[in-house]
Amino acid sequence: MDEHKIQQVVAEVLKRLALEAGATGERGDVIVVFTGATAGFLEAIQQVRSLVVKGFRAQLVFSRAAELLCGPVIWKELEGFPQVVAFDDSKWLHNLKNATAVVVPLLSVDTLSKLSLLIADNLASNLLLHALFTGKPLILAQNGVDPSDKGRVELHFDQCGPVLAAAIRERMEVVRSYGCELVDVGCVSAALEGALEQTRAAMRNGHSNGSAKLTRFSLQGKIITAAVVLQARQLGAPIRLHKSTMMTPLARELAEKHGVSVTTED
């Protein structure tokens, strides 16, 4: 029996036992955003089922590419599961504010790039950006973007050169520096549980994210990535480069975009 057949059998059993297993939706709503990736598709569906069985209600959102590529298939795979509903985009902000978290089981390079550059030109990217603005846990499955992921290799999407692969990984680091959690698609449900526990622990301990201002952010003998620029911005410090230091194109773009001063030391 192949993997898909096994998944179908498991899904049928879960559907029949879902309510008894805890699929009540009492733990709150999780906004599940599907974008146009395909690597890890079967596991992405399984992670949505897992969230439902753990007591969450899943509100499904599709980017245009995801709707065209796999929207009907996803709805068919989740047919019969309780607590799986379509996201009401007419009340997007209200729904986001009341959601427990946002997860992306299928993350595309397009959506990753938009989020890294703070672009919100459609509902999917807008929800991700505003999840960060409102302090919601944001869990991203990295399989659809990681150049070395097994799923991309199987699809022959691993033939890009080292420069393109490095650019994608840099964008992954940028969104990670924003506070996103990038995980293997098989760990999405567990990562959400961990993020919620960290939030509860932080609230119990009265955690504060305050940072002191620096007079400068001096770097020598290394390559400066976009993540470093964002850190300097957060610290309120200009970047001073040694003459031997390299800076990636995306890092320079973000420094200009966010007004981070970059100078070179003698």
* Average pLDDT rounded to a whole number, residues 249-262: 84
* pLDDT digit string, tens, across residues 179-230: 899 999 999 999 999 888 877 766 666 544 444 444 555 555 567 777 677 7
Strands 138-141, 181-183: parallel, antiparallel or unpaired by DSSP? parallel
Higher pLDDT, 120 or 199: 120
Residue type, 107: L
| Percent of the chain scoring above 90 in pLDDT | 52
Q: Is 244 exposed, middle or buried (0-12, 13-18, 19+ CB in 10 A)?
A: exposed
H or E stretch including 24? none
Boundaries of every domain in the chain: 3-205, 217-265
Question: Looking up tokens 């393109």, which residue turns up?
Answer: 164
Angle at 133 between CA 176 and CA 106, to 5 degrees: 50
Tokens of 74: 């996803």
Question: How is domain 3-205 classified at the CATH fold level?
Answer: Rossmann fold (3.40.50)
Higher pLDDT, 243 or 144: 144
* pLDDT digit string, tens, across residues 3-54: 667 666 666 666 666 666 668 899 999 999 999 998 889 999 999 999 998 9
Q: Indicate yes or no: pTM above 0.85.
A: no
